[in-house]
Structures are given as C-alpha cells and as structure tokens.
Amino acid sequence: MNHRPVPTPLLLTRRAMLQRAGAGFGALALNALLGREATALTPPRLPARAKRVIFLFMHGGPSTLDLFDPKPLLRRDNGKPLPITGPRIVSAAPGNLLGSPWEFQQHGASGASVSTLLPNIASIADDLCFIRSMRCSNSRHGGALLELHTGSDTFTRPSMGSWINYGLGSENDNLPGFITINPSGSHGGAGAWSSAFLPARFSGTRIGGGAGGLHVPFIHSPLANPSDQRRELDLLAAFNQDHLAQRGPDPELESRIASYELAFRMQREVPGVQDISGEPDSIKKLYGADVDPTRSFAEQCLMARRFSEAGVRFVQVTHRYWDSHGDLRRDHARLAAEMDKPVAGLISDLKQRGLLEDTLVLWGGEFGRTPTAQGKDGRDHNPHGFTMFMAGGGTRAGTQFGATDDFGYFAQENPVHYHDLHATILHLLGMDHEKLTYRYAGRDFRLTDVHGEVVKGILA
C-alpha cells in the first residue's frame, strides 16, 4: 500500500509518450482516471471485518463521567479537594470534586453502566464496545480535534476519512468515498475532513454545516438536457488532456478533472440518497426524526445510514456543542436528549438490516471532562481519560475495555491513545496501519505516523 513516485523511464519520458501517442492514448488515460476513483493500491492485506465507517462526532467534549463512567468515590467526596495529583499543565485552576448529578444503572448481559441521561443507548448496551481508557495529547479544542481526526495536533495532515478513502476508495463510483454531515467550521475547520497532501479527490464532501441546509449544494444541473452538460465536460476534458500532453503530470489538475467527473455522476444518485422523505414512518420514529428535540440529529443519522448503505466508505456526523464549562446539568441534559435516540436508532437500524456486521460505528468527542468543578456547575477539558464506544464492524459487542482511576481523571488500565484507535480502525478495515503510507516531502507518511498499536482486546 506504499505510494511512491514512478521513476522516469530511461528511453521515453511520460511527456514524450503522451506527445507521440496523441489524443487517443491521452483519452484512454483520462478515462481511466476520471471514470473510477482508483487509488492504484493493492487490496487490503488483512482479513477485513468492516467495509465502511460511520463516525458520530460529539464536538466540544462530552463529559463521559456523566454518561458512561460512574465513579462512586467522586460522588462520595463531592465538594472535597482532588486527593490525587492532577495534570502538570491545566488551562484553569481546578476546583473541588464534582460528583455526577445523574444516576447510573447497569444494562444488558454485559452489565455496562450508562447514566439515566441515555435510556435509548442503554437499551442497546450489549451491542456496544466501550473503551473507557481513551487519552490524547492536547487539552485545547482545536488541537485535540485535529489529533482525533488526523493523528496530529501540530501539523497539517490528511484526515482519517481521507486515509480510508485513499486506501479503499468508494464502493460506489457515483458517490464520494468520504462525506461529512453538518461539520463545524471552527476548531480545526476543514482540516478535520481535508486530504492535505493526499490527492484532493480523497477529501471529504461537506453536507450542511452552513446556510445551505442538509443537502449537497448545487446538486441539480442547471441544464435541462444532461447530454449538454456531458458535452461541456468532454470539451473541458479535451482542453485539459491537451494541457497534460504538453506539460506533463499535474496532480492538482488531475484531481480537479476527477472532481468535475464525480460531480457529474453524483447528480444522478445523490438527490435520491439524501432525500429521506420516503423512509417509512416506523424508521423515522425509530431515529426520532418525527419529533423534536431529536428531529435534526435524527435526520442526519438517517442520512448517514443511507449514504453508507449506498457505498460511501466513511461518513461522519457531527453533533455539537458539548463544551460545558458551566451549566453542566442544563446543557448535558439538553444535548443528551437530542443525541440519545438517533444514535440508538442508527445502530438498531443497521443491525436489523444486516449492515452492522460490516459497518463500524464510532462515537466520541475530542476529549472528556474533568472530575473537578469549574465554577459551580461545570467541568474543564480532560484529555487524560475518557470514554468512546464502537459498534459492529468486527468489534467485540458487550465489552468494557480499560478503565480510568477512581476519580476518572487518568486512563489507568489499558490506556488507548488516538494513534491506537486509528491503528485499530484501519485493522478492522483490512489495512495495516504501518503499510498504508504516502510519500510526501521526502518521506513516507501514515495516519499513525510512528505510533499506534492495534487494540486486540476489543476485536471480536
């Protein structure tokens, strides 16, 4: 899966070959480039358990101490000083301990603990694989968000969805391999779905997140006759073909041509996929798309299922904004009420359709929140220990992996860094994270850089 520049032949350069072969060979080459989004990579070398990913991103950092990680000592010592040594660097002076205001109960045969904020997710606990020992390196939203999405909180790197799109491509030539629904424009912005130095065709296609509504903008052709648009694109391709023949390879131009062609093909398929109006009432009710406050996020999750089912390799849905430095009780109660039923509905829907087996669902934010109070009713950022969960796609259902300390500050048992999470996701998709590389600026890059271990304890 190593992408390296092709050496220049000794007898005939590519430019010379194009010039000698003329338009006929150039047309064949462009048809191969534009007709399919082939990556020229070898097939996955590992047995793939998952074919696609749906990432439910909780922007802002939910307090998993109040959702999935009960701490009896934290409640017992509520209002007392933190009895353990906290992080060396903090963004604000920590207050005293803040016990969760919500009760926890164990659910299913697995006995997974879920707070009363999330009754619907609790009802599918045996389908979930909880990782209770997540950690990352950055306590700021922008850095942590980019670290989760790209593997780096410092440098511009391709996003996780772009790497997966690059490694596997789309299952449907008429749809992009990577779609992001309702993304945030802040805290990393387009870096969360950018392809960076990978070819531009592997970047995410944005839906919503702005004034355009929850659909792909400008998806309908302004021309009444599609054949007229086809002729326009053919003429444009001819101009670009001549440019490539005269001047040689141009990755940016080739990606632009591929984008034009993909956009043309998308006009035939996207309108139907993104239209959820024809879904049965029972499915809309399952997601909560029929009532408020779940309607908006439910529609996004339902659209994610439709795009995933249609062959999009990586779909991300963003729910925001969980940054409860104050008003924890009010805000987390509201956000959980918006998110709980749609997430449970999505996983249940995938399962009943037989799609959960090879669809990996990932839920989580860029970090967790502290066991100490900020003000009277808030928690600060905590990258040192928090919970994420997965479902389907070869993960071990009904698992609770790892643990934080008695107060929920640090990942203590089987810590899992984002590098390990990325390595595991690629493994489930049938790719070795050390071999999925791309040569740029003189060295081979990968999603996990020089880090990452597959978390074997969560594999089915």
- The pLDDT tens digits of the residues spanning 303-339 come to 999 999 999 999 999 999 999 999 999 999 999 999 9
- ∠ CA 364-366-367, nearest 5°, is 90
pLDDT higher than threshold 50 for residue 34: no
Rounded mean pLDDT, 226-243: 76
- The pLDDT tens digits of the residues spanning 258-301 come to 777 787 788 888 888 999 999 999 999 999 999 999 999 999 99
Rounded CA gap, 284 and 306, in Å? 13
Annotate 13-71 with DSSP letters as a single string: -HHHHHHHH-HHHHHHHHHHHHHS----PPPPSS--S-SEEEEEEEET---TTTTT---
Element (H, E) at 315: strand 314-320
Rounded mean pLDDT, 252-258: 75
pLDDT higher than threshold 80 for residue 250: no
- The pLDDT tens digits of the residues spanning 115-173 come to 999 999 999 999 999 999 999 999 999 999 999 999 999 999 999 999 999 999 889 98
Rounded CA gap, 433 and 442, in Å? 19
pLDDT higher than threshold 60 for residue 41: no
At a CB cut-off of 8 Å and minimum separation 6, what does 73 contact? 406, 407
- Predicted confidence at residue 33, as pLDDT, reads 45
At a CB cut-off of 8 Å and minimum separation 6, what does 308 contact? 52, 54, 315, 355, 359
Rounded CA gap, 151 and 196, in Å? 13
- Predicted confidence at residue 2, as pLDDT, reads 52
- DSSP label at 147? H
Element (H, E) at 333: helix 328-352
Whether the upstream peptide bond of residue 166 has omega within 30° of 0, thus cis, is no
- The pLDDT tens digits of the residues spanning 409-432 come to 999 999 999 999 999 999 999 999
**Secondary structure of 358-374 as H, E, C letters:** HEEEEEECCCEEEEEEC
Q: Could you tell me the two tokens for 417? A: 């860094």
Q: Could you tell me the two tokens for 29? A: 């080459």
Average pLDDT, the chain: 87
What percent of the chain has a predicted confidence (pLDDT) above 70? 88
pLDDT range class, residue 21, cuts 50, 70, 90: very low
Domains with residue ranges and CATH for the chain: 49-214+281-458 (3.40.720.10)
Total-model pTM: 0.86
Give the chain's length. Answer: 460
Residue type, 392: G
What percent of the chain has a predicted confidence (pLDDT) above 90? 68
- Residue matched to tokens 């440019």: 243
- Residue matched to tokens 């926890």: 104
SS3 content of the chain, % helix, strand, coil (to 5): 35, 20, 45
Rounded mean pLDDT, 374-388: 96
Going by C-alpha positions, the residue among 181, 176, 170, 112 that lies closest to residue 387 is 112
Rounded CA gap, 52 and 452, in Å? 21
**Alpha-helix residue ranges (DSSP H) falling in 203-312:** 226-247, 251-274, 281-287, 295-310
Out of 18-27, 192-201, 419-428, pick the least confident: 18-27
Out of 17-21, 60-64, 78-82, 441-445, pick the least confident: 17-21
pLDDT range class, residue 42, cuts 50, 70, 90: low
3-class state of residue 317 by DSSP:
strand
Q: Which pairs count as long-range contacts for 259-266, CB under 8 Å and 24+ apart, including other chains?
A: 259/200, 259/201, 260/233, 260/236, 261/34, 261/35, 261/233, 261/237, 262/37, 262/176, 262/201, 264/229, 264/230, 264/233, 265/173, 265/174, 266/174, 266/175, 266/176, 266/216, 266/219
Annotate 179-227 with DSSP letters as a single string: EEES--SSTTGGGGT--TTS-GGGSPEEESSSTT-SS-TT-S-SSSSHH
